[in-house]
Structure 1
């Protein structure tokens, strides 16, 4: 099943609402850092229509410790992000699509995946054949979907977690049933920045 159309689960949030999400998320993360006895500064922003919170090293030595909160392939980061979203939802009553970054992991991974997706696009244009990328989480798949859409090609996610992956293809190869969104959510949508950068249960076009 492909997930290029956005499911009407979310109503547009105002910047004020998103800033509130960020503040609530930041409060939760500050308590979390205190509990695990780790240092770090917290930055709050609004990016691509969602609250964005980042934990960054505040002094020498913090980076290595914060790396443990990222985990292998960002698995721990994803778990903490989900806990933060649940904390926000408990306060606001609304589902949160807040994005969390730690130590610039997502920014660095986005740059890496942009290159990977661009190479796949070039290969598809050169050969006319679909190209399957390695398995990725919802956030990573969304990055690739956006790159592909910006290049004028088509992409869809196939398989089940943890083997779900992006397939890049020419528009002529686009399946007819592209109007359904994976129950996992809206983070991955076919159109560039179509609603978020995501995410899996919330992160969407996965």
Structure 2
């Protein structure tokens, strides 16, 4: 992070100089006042300028991207990461020539962990939250489709046997897919129970 010491007759003037020299905007500028301006004798003799130390706020997405690249390299993968804006979130599409199964992990656990850590780093110094999603080899879409199929298969079993079925633990995003898939299916209800990594969905016959 490059810091710049700037002076001016007033703090506002020093800020204006910092914006010009750093080539940035007020939204991205961060500064600390080192010395307040002081008027001297008769407002002239001994006058001291305002001094600030200024820097550009790190770009949250770029911080997340840099962190992710470093983490993946430490795992032992050589990849490219494409950054795409997807409405209310940023997608980091990981592209590699190797088998990406190890990077995805069992039921996407490794990919989810990398995603969680990337979001922590990206939002560490940002005033507003940005959401970053990781994907590789279209895993997210494939997993969603598999969950939707599971939801409807289990719902048919519940309707047929009139007994509840407890699904395996899932993260919040995957549980939402199950809930959404069955919200309009007549005859079944869904709810989540358990805590932390053991939180799971229960599909039950609808009570009238």
TM-score for the superposition, normalised by structure 1: 0.58
Matching residue of 2:90? 51
Q: Contact conserved, 1:89 with 1:96, CA < 8 A, in 2?
A: yes
Equivalent position of 1:40 in the other structure = 79
Unaligned 5+ runs, structure 1: 1-19, 174-206
1:92 lines up with 2:92 in the alignment: no
Return the offset for 1:116. 0.6
1:106 corresponds to:
140
Asked which structure has the greater RCO (Cα within 8 Å, sep 6+), the reply is 1
- Corresponding residue number in structure 2 for 1:26: 65
1:164 corresponds to 2:199: yes
Quote how far apart the aligned CAs of 1:166 are. Answer: 0.6
Q: Is the 8 A contact 1:25 1:53 kept in 2?
A: no
> Does 2:170 match 1:136?
yes
What's the offset of the Cα at 1:117? 0.4
Give the direction of change, closer, same or farther, for the CA distance of 1:54–1:171 in structure 2 (3 Å limit). farther
- RMSD across aligned positions (CA): 2.9
Structure 1 residues 172 and 51: alpha-carbon distance in aligned structure 2, compared to 1, 3 A threshold: farther
Q: In structure 2, which of residues 182, 185, 196 is the aligned counterpart of residue 151 of structure 1?
A: 185
Question: Helix, strand or coil for the counterpart of 2:198?
Answer: coil
Deviations 1:136-159 (Å, cap 9, x if unpaired)? 222322221121124355321111
Tell me, what secondary structure is at the counterpart of 1:136?
coil
Identify the structure with the greater strand proportion: 2
Unaligned runs of 5+ in 2: 1-58
Equivalent residues, number = 149
Q: Give the structure with higher Rg (CA).
A: 2
Structure 1 range deviating more: 89-98 or 133-142: 89-98
Summarize the Cα distance change of 1:150–1:33 in structure 2 as closer, same or farther, 3 Å threshold. same
Q: Which residue of 2 aligns with 1:120?
A: 154
